[in-house]
Amino acid sequence: MSDYNTQLYNTYIQLLVVALFSTFLAVVLSFFISNWLQKELNNVLLLTNNLTENITSNEKIDWPHSLIKEIFYLIAAFKQSEIKLKKLFQENIATKLDLQYLAHYDPLTNVYNRNYIMKNINELIEHSPNSVNFSVLFIDLDRFKIVNDTVGHRIGDKLLVEVAERLREINDNNLLISRIGGDEFIVVVPSYDEVDSLSKIANEIIESLNQSYHVEGNEFHLSASIGISVYPDDGKDVHTLIKNADIAMYAAKDNGKNTYEFYNSSYNSVTSKVEMENELRHAIERKELQLFYQPKVNIASGEIVGAEALIRWIHPTYGFVSPADFIPIAEETGLIIPMGEWILEQACKDLFIWNTNRTKNISVSVNISMHQFLNENLLKSVENAINLAKIDPTLLELEITESVAMFQPEIVIEKLKNLKNKGITLALDDFGTGYSSLNYLKMLPIDVLKIDQSFIKDMDHADTTIVRSLIEIAHSLHMTVVAEGVETKSQLNYLQGVHCDLFQGYYFSKAIPQEEFLKLLRIFK
């Protein structure tokens, strides 16, 4: 029994020693493992603490390698986070740079934009001593919209890029160049000694922009009109300087385009293009636009067979505004399209009224501008006007000028055929004033030839051979002939003798409002 107890005691002691040793070993191992894990985690922690700084400074992060599965996955997760954060940071930097660029530059031409050039002008005003002058040149490309509508905005944009590049090449590195919208540019001359130096710069710009342009195998020719205002004589704030330069530019266009004009206080009576454009936008809804009608008369019978619709603008402040003043602005700004649609619709509505209760219908003729004719929605607009008014399409006559007919012959002929197929009557206006050939005239699907009033006027004191020849040629092509601008009995008598079909002019009646035209119809019914 005693030996058994001794043996049991010894076994217990052995087990206790093993247990204590195991415990000691476990503590030691735990200590080392804990230190190892802590060291690994500390390395990761140090890198993650500076993760943002390392990414923003674009420093490479050397992530540690770990044999511990959990820490290995943790480091892998941080690596992915680093990649994503770097991408976000780069995108943020790129967006910030893009915003800074867009705030200062025109994205198409890479010259300053409107806001930034105005900021520059303001800074010049604030920091320029009284003895230092600077100037604002307002540049508008002549008839650029026609090119844009004809060949498309893609080529038009390439032309604008070329224009900007040519402006940069003007021999004055101090010039501040900007595109403020569309085909309008502003060039600021920060300082100058004499006005002649401004004229020299303006002439250099005009000469440079006049050179031919070659884009995608096509050759184009542009010109520019420039208005010039100077600080402080023509304005002491940025808005006045730009406005007055704009007014001067409009004066340059009035003087034949492709030239420059300095602002003059006498221009104060002239409404700027911007103001005129704004007024035109509201003219239709305010019912300030009116159609006047000039009767067309059959020379043989004396009957009124139709009328030409002519636009008039009665402004509440300016009074009667001449079409010569607002039509060019409407064409330059593109407002001629909605205005032309209104004219078509109103003329067709008036025609419906004329022919109500008439045994013999009359027609109405409407002038179509270059911009309207080249517009892709022309046919749709014409059909819409006819359908709204519920008129016979053969009673609508569309007039295009010789210059429109010659602009893009293939496009013109195709569009004319499409209109002709709808039953619409087509007229060639102002014939004889351009350069179209008789061979080209034969190709046009034209029903009516209108002889320009300049030939009719010359009949009283010049050879009448031209008028007689034009009438004979038109008749040989089965066209009806209308003589424009007939003012005297002798002119009418001659036209009757050479078998001209119709006439219009002051000899019978000037253009009159709808109400007066209705009275005239009742008289000559």
Tens digits of pLDDT across the chain (525 residues): 567 777 777 777 877 777 777 777 777 677 666 666 666 666 666 556 566 666 666 666 666 666 566 666 666 666 676 667 667 766 666 666 555 656 788 889 999 998 899 999 999 988 876 656 899 999 999 878 777 767 778 888 999 999 999 999 986 668 999 999 889 999 999 988 888 889 999 999 999 999 989 988 888 888 999 999 999 889 989 999 999 999 889 888 878 789 999 998 766 555 566 677 788 888 877 889 999 999 999 999 999 999 999 999 988 887 888 787 788 888 877 889 999 999 999 999 999 999 998 889 999 999 998 889 988 899 999 999 999 999 999 999 999 987 787 777 788 889 999 999 999 999 998 776 555 566 678 888 999 999 988 888 877 666 678 889 889 999 999 999 999 999 999 999 999 999 999 999 999 999 999 999 999 998 876
Cα dihedral angle (75, 81, 82, 83), rounded to 10 degrees? 120
Amino acid at 199: S
Euclidean distance between the first and final Cα of the chain, in Å?
Answer: 155
pTM of the model: 0.59
Q: Do 160 and 85 share a domain, yes or no?
A: no
Tokens of 51: 């993760």
DSSP bridge pairs for 260: 226
Count of other CB atoms within 10 angstroms of residue 144: 21
- Please tell me the predicted confidence (pLDDT) of residue 352: 96
Q: How far apart are CA 37 and CA 18, in angstroms?
A: 28
Q: What is the CATH number of the domain that holds 432?
A: 3.20.20.450
Q: How far apart are CA 244 and CA 141, in angstroms?
A: 18
**Domain extent at residue 81:** 1-103
Count of other CB atoms within 10 angstroms of residue 164: 19
Domain boundary, last residue among 249, 267, 285:
267
Q: Do 491 and 518 share a domain, yes or no?
A: yes
**Cα–Cα separations (whole angstroms), residue 104 to 11, 137, 159, 180, 222:** 92, 19, 21, 11, 27
- Please tell me the predicted confidence (pLDDT) of residue 181: 85
Q: Do 139 and 19 share a domain, yes or no?
A: no
Q: How far apart are CA 460 and CA 474, in angstroms?
A: 22
If you ran DSSP here, which 8-state letter would residue 487 be given? -
Tokens of 194: 């004499």
If you ran DSSP here, which 8-state letter would residue 500 be given? -
Count of the separate structural domains present in the chain: 3
**Residue 396 burial (10 A CB sphere; 0-12, 13-18, 19+):** buried
Asked, for residue 108, whether it belongs to a domain, the answer is no
Q: Do 262 and 313 share a domain, yes or no?
A: no
Tokens of 252: 């340059």
Q: Do 353 and 226 share a domain, yes or no?
A: no
Q: Are 253 and 325 in contact (CB under 8 A)?
A: no
Amino acid at 452: D
Q: What is the CATH number of the domain that holds 253?
A: 3.30.70.270
Q: Do 431 and 294 share a domain, yes or no?
A: yes
The residues, ordered by sequence, that sit 6+ positions from 291 with a Cβ below 8 Å of its Cβ are: 309, 310, 311, 312, 343, 346, 347, 350, 514
Q: Do 184 and 311 share a domain, yes or no?
A: no
User: Could you tell me where the DSSP H helices lie in 114-263?
Assistant: 114-127, 144-151, 153-168, 195-210, 238-254
Q: Do 189 and 303 share a domain, yes or no?
A: no
Count of other CB atoms within 10 angstroms of residue 166: 17
Tokens of 128: 């320029």
Domain boundary, last residue among 82, 103, 124:
103
Q: Do 317 and 445 share a domain, yes or no?
A: yes
- Please tell me the predicted confidence (pLDDT) of residue 481: 96
Q: How far apart are CA 363 and CA 487, in angstroms?
A: 22
Nearest alpha-carbon partner for 340 in 404, 392, 296, 394: 404
The residues, ordered by sequence, that sit 6+ positions from 108 with a Cβ below 8 Å of its Cβ are: 157, 160, 161, 179
Residue with tokens 């050939």: 437
Asked, for residue 109, whether it belongs to a domain, the answer is no
DSSP bridge pairs for 426: 398
Asked, for residue 335, whether it belongs to a domain, the answer is yes
Tokens of 320: 């009667």
Residue with tokens 């922009």: 209
- Please tell me the predicted confidence (pLDDT) of residue 255: 80
Asked, for residue 487, whether it belongs to a domain, the answer is yes
Q: Do 331 and 292 share a domain, yes or no?
A: yes
**Residue 286 burial (10 A CB sphere; 0-12, 13-18, 19+):** exposed
DSSP bridge pairs for 310: 292
Domain boundary, last residue among 48, 73, 103:
103
Q: Do 230 and 294 share a domain, yes or no?
A: no
DSSP bridge pairs for 225: 140
Ramachandran angles phi, psi of 264, nearest 5°: -135, 140
DSSP bridge pairs for 512: 293
Q: How far apart are CA 365 and CA 399, in angstroms?
A: 7
- Please tell me the predicted confidence (pLDDT) of residue 345: 96
Positive/negative CA dihedral, 19, 24, 25, 31: positive
Count of other CB atoms within 10 angstroms of residue 6: 10
Q: Do 62 and 151 share a domain, yes or no?
A: no
Q: How far apart are CA 124 and CA 375, in angstroms?
A: 42
Angle at 168 between CA 166 and CA 170, to 5 degrees: 75
Asked, for residue 158, whether it belongs to a domain, the answer is yes
Q: How far apart are CA 147 and CA 221, in angstroms?
A: 9
